[in-house]
Amino acid sequence: MADFADDHLVRLAKQGDVDAFTELVRRFQEKIYHTILALTRNQQDAYDLAQETFMHAYKSLRNFKQRSTFYTWIYRIAVNLTLNFLKKRKSEEKREIHVEDCSLDLKSAASTLSPEGHSITKELSEKLKEAIDSLPLTYKVSFVLVVSQGLTHTQAANVLCCSENTISWRMHKARKMLQQRLRPYLEGE
């Protein structure tokens, strides 16, 4: 199963092969989970939404015409479910992310800095999280898909069902907003 291409696995899964679908889950679970986590900032919500995404995909597999790749299709489901979830949660208070350890990369990078540098980096990353969270939803999703998940503008456009120009424009606006909100922290170093 591990050697099969995504398309082939999709065809097998459509015929009722649960193992083929499980292999697809294995391939995309981390990416989907991290995308959702970047949008929700809550591990439990991300975990639940990632599960919901795959279950939704399994149930809708018959309707998947394979005009796009499975990768784009599953991303689209994940983003739509997360956006619906975030819209519902909008009125609720922002919850803190419950992660025991912060990013390993951040830790290792910060360990080389002086105590002052460490606190500045930590403060910037905290403020950056807040600033990303405060972006309008469409800008936030585009930013997360392109920056965090490394999608190209074309891929992000396919996931969000819009043009590449729209993604380019949203990225520019998102960066401008973030830069304005983080200017004191960026200049403080």
Partner 1 sequence: MRHKKIEKLLSDNIDGELSEKKKKALETHLRNCASCSSYAENIQRIHKEAKSLEKLEASPVRWEEFTSRIKAEIFSAKQEKLRGITLFLRWKWAWAGAALSFVIVAGLFLYLTQNKTPQEPYVFSFESSLARIYQEIGSDQELEELFNSVICASIGETFEDSGWGERPDFYENLILWEDLTEEEMRFLESEIKKDNKL
User: Footprint of partner 1 on this chain (CB under 8 A)?
Assistant: 18, 21-22, 25-26, 29-30, 33-34, 37-38, 43, 47, 50-51, 54-55, 58-59, 99, 101, 103-106, 109, 124-125, 128-129, 132, 143-144, 146-149, 152-153, 168-169, 171-172, 175-176, 178-179, 182-183, 186
Half-sphere CA count of 47, side-chain side, radius 13 A: 6
Q: Give the closest residue to 75 by CA, choosing from 43, 36, 40, 21.
A: 36
Q: How far is the CB of 117 from partner 1 (least distance, A)?
A: 14
Shortest distance (Å) from residue 67 CB to partner 1: 24
Least Cβ distance, residue 91 to partner 1 (angstroms): 26
The residues, any chain, with a CB within 8 Å of residue 176's CB and separated by 6 or more, are none
Please, what is the minimum distance in Å from the beta carbon of residue 18 to partner 1? 6
Based on CB atoms, which residue is closest to partner 1, 91 or 180? 180
CB of 125 to partner 1, least distance (A): 6
**Shortest reach from residue 101's CB to partner 1, in Å:** 7
- Residue 132 and residue 142 in contact, taking contact as beta carbons nearer than 8 Å: no
Nearer to partner 1, 58 or 64 (CB): 58
- Of 12 and 37, nearer to partner 1 (C-beta) is 37
Residues 6 or more apart whose Cβ sits within 8 Å of residue 164:
153, 154, 157
CA separation (Å) from 112 to 117, 122, 126, 154, 186?
A: 9, 13, 19, 37, 19
Closer by beta carbon to partner 1, 67 or else 131: 131
C-alpha 38/C-alpha 45 separation (Å) is: 11
| Closer residue to partner 1, CB minimum distance, 137 or 186 | 186
In the three-class reduction of DSSP (H, G, I as helix; E, B as strand; rest coil), residue 37 is classed as helix
Closer CB to partner 1, 80 or 168, in the complex: 168
What are the start-end ranges of the H helices in the chain?
Answer: 6-14, 18-40, 43-60, 70-89, 104-111, 115-133, 137-143, 153-160, 164-187
